[in-house]
Amino acid sequence: MLLESQGPAFHHPLSPNTAPPHPSHALSGVVMTNPVVAQLTEEEIAGFKDFFCLFDEDGKGTITAKELGNVTQKLGQKWTHAELQEAISKMDTQKKGKIDFNDFLVQMAQLKKHVDPEEELRHAFRSFDIDGNGSISREELRQALTGLGIKLTAEEVDEMFREGDQNGDGVIDYEEFKKMMLGS
């Protein structure tokens, strides 16, 4: 199994498995006293850290509106500059025009509390099913992973595809995708 989901379909071991770039991004006591954040496991926090790093393109430990826009565009969403600024503003507790990992973690914990895992998996599946035909081809898998900034060799994509295409019909359908993401 190459992909594994923890809660929402955000975390997978192919994302950068690194902590934020410097120690100042350790969780503050204020964040840990947030009752929603306090319910997260260490594994979930590590997964959200990986997810944060996908957005933090320059590795400075913060997400700017431009970085948020780059990632949302790769996911097929077109946000206006005003929408990006508003999203950053809602999460930016220090009012610096960018969000740090603590801000991000609080937001992700709140989203996790209200997210239907099945709907989150369906959304992730639709992101990979680029042509919308209800299945993921090998090329769609490669394109989606590349769009997320995940660089894999052709052999790695082939291996992942073989694991996902459990019935050997040449595509990954939703049920196969779900099993791949949940590791079942």
Q: What is the mean pLDDT of residues 16-39?
A: 51
SS3 letters across the chain:
CCCCCCCCCCCCCCCCCCCCCCHHHCCCHHHHHCHHHHCCCHHHHHHHHHHHHHHCCCCCCEECHHHHHHHHHHCCCCCCHHHHHHHHHHHCCCCCCCEEHHHHHHHHHHHHHHCCHHHHHHHHHHHHCCCCCCEECHHHHHHHHHHCCCCCCHHHHHHHHHHHCCCCCCCEEHHHHHHHHHCC
Span 113-150, pLDDT tens digits? 776 778 888 988 998 999 999 999 999 999 988 887 78
Q: Per CATH, which fold does 117-182 belong to?
A: Recoverin; domain 1 (1.10.238)
Q: Average pLDDT over the chain, rounded to whole? A: 79
Percentage of residues of the chain with pLDDT beyond 70? 80
pLDDT at 98: 93
- The domain covering 23-114 belongs, at the CATH homologous superfamily level, to EF-hand (1.10.238.10)
User: Per-residue pLDDT for 30 more than 60?
Assistant: no
The domain ranges of the chain are 23-114, 117-182
Q: Record the pTM.
A: 0.49
Q: State the chain's maximal CA–CA distance in angstroms.
A: 51
* Banded pLDDT at 10 (limits 50, 70, 90): very low
| 117-182 has the same fold as 23-114 | yes
